[in-house]
Structure 1
Amino acid sequence: MATPTPEKLLEFIKEKNVKWVDLQFMDIPGYIQHITIPSYTLKEEDFTDGIGKLDGSSIKGFKSIFESDMRMFPDPNTCAVLPWTDNTPHKTLRLICDLYDAFGGPRFTRDPRYIAQKAEEAVKKAGFDVSYWGPELEFFVFDSFKLLPSFSTARDAWSGTGYEIQSKEAPWSHTSGINHPIRFKEGYYPAPPQDTLVDLRNEITGQLYDYFNIICDAHHHEVATAGQCEIDMKYDTLTKMADNVLTYKNVVKNVAYHMKMIATFMPKPIFGDNASGMHIHQSLWKGMNGSSHNTFYDPDDEYAEISQTCRYYIGGLMEHSRALCAITSPTTNSYKRLVPGYEAPVYIAWSKRNRSASIRVPVYEKGKEAPKRIEFRPPDTSCNIYYAFAALTAAGLDGIKKKMDPGNPCDENIYHLTAERRHEMGIKECPGSLQEALDELETDRKFLESIFPGDAIDMWIELKSEEYKQNSIRPTPFEFYQYFDI
């Protein structure tokens, strides 16, 4: 549907016999939340006055119990029929919402979508017109997953846990006899029948385009065994692309579910093989439509055809990389990915072409302005995408404002350099744990404050510190293996 007015949207609901409206938003940790209302209750004034259905005290990090009432303002630009409900008696229309305080109050300051919109305002305030974003999301699709033998977070019900992953592609699979297994680290681009997930990725890609108008450039199997996938979306503007990522994750999980599989965006579910990352491509433009200009492009630059503006933007990302990790790699599991040896970008350096550096300038083509961009490689798909884009914007703009020099590029395989050589070259490392990243964020948070309200940063640190604590105090299966006979 073309960009609809509320009136046209209500007409569409009646014409297409839509029964339900799903009001969606993202919480602070990055989970999709929703409430479903009967379509006949949606009114034009709901788009201007909001819908008072949200108890903010029940959403992690939102509101205290004495101030719980919140309003949801549906964005008609995000309307789409949920594919898995089409041609069923329960056809459902999705709308992503902006969140407001109740009783005529302002925007909720910690609403992730609001912070993304503030980042777009910051781009314009800095003298640019638009930023473009292209995240590469990786994920795993398993035949089954279960926790063993039992699991409970209650302190009085703990009896230990393990987990079991089954995939027909995996070397350990119970059903590997019906297929050629994919060996560890050999999953990149294998043809069917080894790649068993082509139909699933085709279905996901088709639904993204047919129902949500999200264009995908390509899809393929990724490096790891046991069903690691990647589907790449065409770049878009900041908030729109963050909305697209929310949609992408929702579609991936639901397509897998309806094909009797299970998808996960957990960064490192399998020990000994590559993890799932989310390399984020970004650029800044001036002008609109036919007069637009990519400020990252300079055809006279001999190294990578990048401008001084681009170099300063890279300098900002490098300066704040360790603090950024607390937002772009925000789980304890993220730091099981950010280790050497699995193509993870743990070293803070920049280069063209070099995938061992944390910031890469792709140079597939020469003499072309439109594709010129930088790729920030540490993030993973467990992050809150609205917060991640906003934080990267803040760091890059800080680099431009303060003319931060990124130093010389590193065109060597950094994984093979000695620690002494890396020290000589001034190459730092990403944090080794979530707590270390949070400490960096607490120390280096000022650059975020042009976009993030202080209470949003405070709440992020509080929630993530608690996650780290809860993980650190629980014994793991490997600890029993390692220490039980000590």
Structure 2
Amino acid sequence: MPKSPEDVLKLIKENNLGWVDLQFTDLPGRLHHITIPSTDVELESFKNGFGKLDGSSIRGFTEIFESDMVLMPIADTASLVPWSAGVMRILTDVYWGGGKGRFERDPRGVANTAEKFQEERGYKSFFGPELEFFLFDKVDLDVATPQSGTGYKIHARESPWEGSGSFVIRYKEGYYPAPPVDKLMDVRVEIVDTLVKYFGFIIEATHHEVATAGQGEIDFRFSTLTDTADKVQTLKYVTKNVAAKHGLTATFMPKPIYGDNGTGMHTHFSLWSKDGKNLMFDPNDDYAEISQTGRYVIGGILHHARALSAIASPSVNSYRRLVPGFEAPVYTAWSRGNRSAIIRVPSYFRGIENAKRIEYRAPDPSTNPYLLFSAVLMAALDGVNKKMDPGDPVDENIYHLTPEKRREKGIRELPRSLDEALDELESDKEFLKPVFSNSIIDTYIDLKRQEAKTLQMYPHPMELYYYLDS
């Protein structure tokens, strides 16, 4: 992949590219783009940027009276777009127009600030998310006239309700079935091949996930905070486009199907010193080779877990996933191998410093990765700075504990709705302040409040089933 502006210009020339797609992420986490002629890209473009953005038209950005914004291309994110001949894609940072500097509500800017914050304190962090998604054959939506009713129907070749061919995948039985039961392996392989060949990914695995109806997962090699967030956005972009090429709909929606597992984004995290020492590894710890610093990291994330929910689980739909019985964590506890805990310390092997990390299991892929990874880092560093004790690990099924037992162990519940999570973020946001401006926190909360309020006004189709005869 290109590493300098000169490399980008060389790539354009050697491939005779006619167009460059400038991409950026809005505050809720959606990818946006504008396509410009490749002849407009010069060396000076990487210093001056492109004055192409009306910020007032982007959610969470600017007002109409301050709308001129600049997109600054990032050379080492440039890559060919295999499904669009003659096109290069490049991620951008967002700046105010008029030379006023970096836009404080650019999510990628928050990630850059978080990395600078940790570096100044002698730390380096790594993130490794596991992205789950569904590949549907088609989704019929009926929302044109919501006053007369709304609804949807999912078409999926593997599903029990509409399976085609000799095999279907039963509810909650989709984990690792071999072809021909797994009918979408070839599409997933094309997705990862595209990520490797064109976008510089190192893929660790791809597989079918637990749910029926085409649930899959792609895992890529861990990296630094901003780079990992860039890769999350790229993976979603590639997955959706390759799926569309096959006539499929790829969705990272947390809970599209009733009665089956939802879609998560388990996020692996490790904290290192600048001289290359894994601060979370202690070979003399009998429980999970987790150091005292690692325990403080866990303590910080557990302490702020309810506030983090507003970023990690950022949609109304997220809270349909966070219910007991579907492998999604709803309790603030930690453990070595317990997948009912919100934080797991993977312990497949012993004695491997590079492998020591935690797995934060609450996030789902509807999150804005730049904000999520920054918030997780700040919670972890707050735990280290204040020596937050995570309490004892819980090595039993937390779903089966009585409320009294959970209280005895100091286990809290995560918020049960987006509004509740936003309440928690409003009351516990100080740990974010060194990296998140008041402007971005307040704007984010306002956007999500409006989203929750809007969806609250729509009658759910199942409400008619339950209440029509009342």
C-alpha distance in 2 between matches for 1:394 and 1:295? 16
What does residue 241 of structure 2 align with? 254
What does residue 63 of structure 1 align with? 62
Does residue 1:319 correspond to 2:314, yes or no? no
Does residue 1:131 correspond to 2:131, yes or no? no
Task: Return the TM-score normalized by structure 1.
Answer: 0.95
What does residue 110 of structure 1 align with? 105
C-alpha distance in 2 between matches for 1:32 and 1:159? 32
From 146, 162, 172, give the equivalent of 2:161: 172
Gaps of 5+ in 2: none
C-alpha distance in 2 between matches for 1:345 and 1:330? 15
Question: Conserved in 1, the CA contact under 8 Å of 2:122 and 2:274?
Answer: no
| SS of equivalent to 1:428 | coil
* Structure 1 runs, 4 residues or longer, greater than 2 Å off: none
| SS of equivalent to 2:201 | coil
- Once the two structures are TM-superposed, the CA of residue 113 in structure 1 deviates from its matched residue by 0.4
Deviations for 1:160-180, whole angstroms, at most 9, x for unmatched residues?
Answer: 11000011100000xx25131
Deviations for 1:401-427, whole angstroms, at most 9, x for unmatched residues?
Answer: 101000111011111111121111111
From 275, 289, 312, give the equivalent of 1:328: 312
Deviations for 1:313-355, whole angstroms, at most 9, x for unmatched residues?
Answer: 1000000000000001000000000011111110100010111
| SS of equivalent to 2:232 | helix
Deviations for 1:78-136, whole angstroms, at most 9, x for unmatched residues?
Answer: 01001212xx3xx21111001110111110001000000111112112321x2110000
What does residue 171 of structure 2 align with? 184
AA in 2 matched with 1:131: S
Question: Conserved in 2, the CA contact under 8 Å of 1:313 and 1:395?
Answer: yes
Question: Conserved in 2, the CA contact under 8 Å of 1:168 and 1:179?
Answer: no
C-alpha distance in 1 between matches for 2:392 and 2:7? 54
Q: Equivalent residues in 2 for 1:350-365 (5 A)?
A: 350-365=334-349
Gaps of 5+ in 1: none
C-alpha distance in 2 between matches for 1:412 and 1:126? 37
Does residue 1:286 correspond to 2:280, yes or no? no
- Once the two structures are TM-superposed, the CA of residue 8 in structure 1 deviates from its matched residue by 3.0
- Once the two structures are TM-superposed, the CA of residue 2 in structure 1 deviates from its matched residue by 4.3
Question: Conserved in 1, the CA contact under 8 Å of 2:2 and 2:75?
Answer: no
Question: Conserved in 1, the CA contact under 8 Å of 2:131 and 2:264?
Answer: yes
Identity of aligned residues (%): 55
AA in 1 matched with 2:394: C
C-alpha distance in 1 between matches for 2:115 and 2:129? 17
Q: Equivalent residues in 2 for 1:383-422 (5 A)?
A: 383-422=367-406
| SS of equivalent to 1:158 | helix
C-alpha distance in 1 between matches for 2:268 and 2:438? 27
Does residue 1:468 correspond to 2:452, yes or no? yes
C-alpha distance in 2 between matches for 1:105 and 1:281? 36
C-alpha distance in 2 between matches for 1:14 and 1:177? 47
AA in 2 matched with 1:167: A
What does residue 160 of structure 1 align with? 149
| SS of equivalent to 1:131 | strand
- Residues matched between the structures, number: 470
What does residue 419 of structure 2 align with? 435
C-alpha distance in 2 between matches for 1:122 and 1:272? 43
Q: CA RMSD in A?
A: 1.0
Task: Return the TM-score normalized by structure 2.
Answer: 0.99
